[in-house]
Amino acid sequence: MSSKRLQLLGVVLLAAVAAVPLFVESRFVLHMVTLIFFYIALTSAWNIPVFGGKMSLGHAAFGAILYVKFGVSPWIGVAAGVAVSLLGGVVMTLPLLRLRGPFFTLASIAFAEVLRMVAIDWRSLTNGSVGLNIPFKPGWANLTFQSGKPFYFISLILAVAVVFVAYRLRHSALGYHLRASASNDEAAQALGVNTRRAHFIALLWSSGLTGLIGVFYVFFIYVVEPNTMFSTTLFSLQPALNGIIGGIGTIWGPIIGAVVMTPFGEYLRFYLGTIQQGLNYVVYGVVLIVTVNFIPGGIVSLMRPRRSNRSGGSGSSSDTKEAR
């Protein structure tokens, strides 16, 4: 499928999902689609460093404390959440950029786990494992609502905004530098590309967007709880799984992965989790193994036009493009 057709398809789908609350009153459906939008945004933010071959599993968000503890406006808390995420990104990125491959990924997991333990032990601020409940004071000023429709549109706007940022970054000079580094880091450096700077900026973009998404997600679930907000399953492994299933390093991959895996994951968690705790993760593992072995490029790779071997097998036609 060509890029123009994909863009047209994206516009049509965007118009369709924006109209869903006008015709659907089911709280379950609205909640599920809202969750899909959040995971599209989160997976797209996670996917930005992957353009350069860096897979981080340390993405976690923690916000709304200013509002609960000190009565500061949630909208100021959004800016504070982004700032704290950027600071955390700087602290994490500088030492981690010295690592490569699986060592980078494992170190990012350890970083998120350290933050979770700090949040649990800092009881005076976070109330420990019990967490903090968001006061129910309906209104846009407090980011709390009596229905799920406002958060439906908020999550939709977040998803569109983050995908747009990822698209622009991928097709910018930074994106080309990242992809050159992913292909051959030493060769890119030899050509004058500052690959460490490119990875640093990509990780900061990813961290800042994740912090923004995290603050809104806290108000969506009405609770600030360390084990949830620093959950490697929800905020590290799930986006990674979405990206791998959909197609990492692409624009459409995180979208497709989130649309497919979010309802599938919720189904497994609610139904298989009641049969045997952890059984849903076994199914996750099987799906991941099958995907990596049979469609390593993810679902999005199945949408790419096959290269033509005509004209003496010289390659694809000039108008053939990748589905991104």
| pLDDT tens readout for residues 166-225 | 999 999 998 898 888 888 888 888 888 888 888 888 888 888 888 888 878 878 877 777
Residue 139 maps to a domain:
yes
Residue 311 maps to a domain:
no
Residue 244 maps to a domain:
yes
Residue 177 maps to a domain:
yes
| 258-265 own/partner pairs: CB under 8 Å, 24+ apart | 258/36, 258/39, 258/40, 258/42, 258/43, 259/36, 259/40, 260/299, 261/39, 262/32, 262/35, 262/36, 262/39, 263/32, 263/36, 265/238, 265/241
Q: State how many domains the chain has.
A: 1
Query: What pLDDT was estimated at residue 98?
Result: 73
Residue 323 maps to a domain:
no
> Computed over its alpha carbons, how large is the radius of gyration of the chain?
20
- pLDDT at residue 4 above 80? no
Q: Which of 38-47, 52-61, 135-144, 150-159 has the least mean pLDDT?
A: 52-61
In contact, 104 and 56? CB cutoff 8 Å = yes
Residue 141 maps to a domain:
yes
Query: What pLDDT was estimated at residue 313?
Result: 41
Residue 69 maps to a domain:
yes
pTM: 0.80
Question: Could you tell me the pLDDT band of residue 232, with boundaries at 50, 70 and 90?
Answer: low
Residue 284 maps to a domain:
yes
Domain that holds residue 227: 3-305
pLDDT, averaged across the chain = 77
- pLDDT at residue 241 above 60? yes
